[in-house]
């Protein structure tokens, strides 16, 4: 059976971009057709300036939202990255296979490092090594496919390179995974700044639709979206990025094609109105389930506890195999204390 792995990082409230670009696919398709794992990748949230209490809160919220999208613990494994030591264990070994040059070429590193420096902050070393930890997340589980939005494709490419390199040098250990990206809405753009991705924590707040925004707030954000000069509704990502973004959002919410939708509209106003309603409708069941799950936090904790146990059992053999392959001496458990003392 195909193995699928993906994750969300609790650095901010989850957005419509996260949902349409990745999470919806996990719940509607991936968990039903594959042996799938979905993870709140909290270690990744420590790579930029962070508040410990906020990361904890956002991790719990992200896990609750994963379940609210419809992920069913009977069908897939939902867990928190830091609950499974194998991620960090494997990450170090992969750092010994990756090069500093390839880390510095990662687009997200360049952008985020530049942003941190512009704010006068320092760049954490973990921001540079982040893609290696991401590779470890994926390779530890032998994932064949990694369903992500377009912005993560480069990191999955790097993961493939590291897997191939490790296998060539030290013997076949890892499955070489591939990214799967949705046909529409693989990169939902900020409604106020359609040249930038809709990120959880960027500087254009009014252009971000959060999964837990009140319906009226969502409607306002969509109605105030920046559109392009001109009046005709055409689907042209380069020339008319604002309108193209709305068309893609509407297409993703309704299952239609953005080009066909463009033909159906004569004004930006009507397009915005229908997009706003479509977004509210798509997120309504997620919000309702989220509310119900918040009333039962013990349930979410239970799911995460079982998920971590299952994940550990899946990752351990591969990570142990990688340790052996790269030349680390296997630990022998239960060696008598006398023998250990003698060895010293
Ligand atoms: P993160 O938390 O930024 O995003 C989670 C998922 O949402 C997708 N996404 C988007 N898709 C379309 N339009 C957008 N505006 C948009 N914003 C985000 C992302 O592509 C992603 O699929 N590095 C990852 C987390 C991660 C991971 C992993 C993912 C860590 N380890 C292993 C897969 C496998 C990240 O920061 O995602």
Write the pLDDT tens digit of every residue in 281-299.
999 999 999 999 999 999 9
CA distance 147 to 339: 49
CA of 145 to the centre of ligand 1 (A): 14
Q: What is the sign, positive or negative, of the torsion defined by CA atoms of 12, 17, 21, 24?
A: positive
Weakest mean pLDDT among 79-93, 105-119, 237-251:
105-119
Q: Is the CB of 93 under 6 A from ligand 1?
A: no
All domains in the chain, ordered by first residue: 3-186+297-335 (3.40.50.620), 215-293 (1.10.240.10)
CA distance 69 to 284: 10
In this prediction the pTM is: 0.95
Tokens standing for residue 176? 């070489």
Residue with tokens 């896990």: 63
Among 40, 2, 17, residue whose Cα is nearest residue 210? 17
Choice from 7, 11, 15, 55 to test ligand 1 binding pocket (greatest atom count within 8 A of CB): 7
Q: Is the CB of 197 under 6 A from ligand 1?
A: yes
Q: What is the sign, positive or negative, of the torsion defined by CA atoms of 113, 116, 120, 125?
A: negative
Query: Averaged over 269-278, what is the pLDDT?
Result: 97
Nearest CA to ligand 1 atom 31: 134
Across the chain, what does the average pLDDT equal? Answer: 95
Edge-to-edge strands of the sheet including 178-180?
77-80, 35-40, 3-8, 145-147, 178-180
Identify the pLDDT of residue 333: 80
Q: Is the CB of 41 under 6 A from ligand 1?
A: yes
CA of 267 to the centre of ligand 1 (A): 33
CA of 7 to the centre of ligand 1 (A): 7
Residue 105: count of CB within 10 angstroms of its CB: 13
């Amino acid at each position: 059976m195909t193995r699928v792995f993906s994750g969300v990082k609790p650095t901010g409230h989850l957005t419509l971009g996260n949902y349409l670009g990745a999470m919806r696919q996990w719940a509607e398709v991936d968990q039903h057709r594959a042996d799938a794992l979905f993870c709140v990748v909290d270690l990744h949230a420590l790579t930029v300036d962070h508040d410990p209490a906020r990361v904890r809160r956002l991790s719990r919220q992200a896990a609750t939202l994963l379940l609210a999208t419809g992920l069913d613990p009977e069908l897939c494994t939902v867990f928190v990255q830091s609950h499974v030591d194998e991620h960090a264990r494997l990450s170090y070994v992969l750092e010994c296979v990756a090069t500093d040059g390839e880390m510095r070429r990662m687009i997200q590193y360049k952008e985020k490092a530049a942003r941190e420096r512009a704010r006068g902050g320092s760049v954490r070393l973990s921001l540079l090594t982040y893609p290696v930890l991401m590779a470890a997340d994926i390779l530890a589980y032998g994932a064949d496919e990694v369903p992500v939005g377009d912005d993560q494709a480069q990191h999955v490419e790097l993961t493939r390179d590291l897997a191939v390199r490790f296998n060539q040098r030290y013997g076949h250990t890892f499955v070489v995974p591939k990214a799967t990206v949705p046909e529409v809405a693989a990169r939902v753009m900020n409604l106020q700044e359609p040249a930038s991705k809709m990120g959880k924590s960027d500087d254009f707040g009014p252009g971000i639709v959060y999964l837990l925004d009140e319906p009226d707030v969502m409607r306002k954000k969509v109605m105030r979206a920046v559109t392009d000069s001109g009046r005709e509704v055409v689907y042209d990502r380069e020339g008319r990025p604002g309108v193209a973004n709305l068309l893609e959002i509407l297409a993703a919410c309704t299952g239609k094609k953005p080009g066909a939708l463009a033909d159906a509209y004569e004004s930006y106003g009507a397009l915005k109105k229908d997009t706003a309603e479509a977004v509210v409708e798509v997120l309504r069941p997620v919000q309702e389930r989220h509310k119900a799950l918040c009333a039962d936090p013990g349930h979410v904790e239970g799911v995460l506890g079982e998920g971590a146990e299952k994940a550990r059992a899946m990752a351990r053999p591969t990570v142990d195999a990688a340790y052996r392959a790269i030349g680390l001496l296997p630990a022998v458990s239960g060696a008598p204390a006398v023998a250990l003392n003698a060895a010293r």
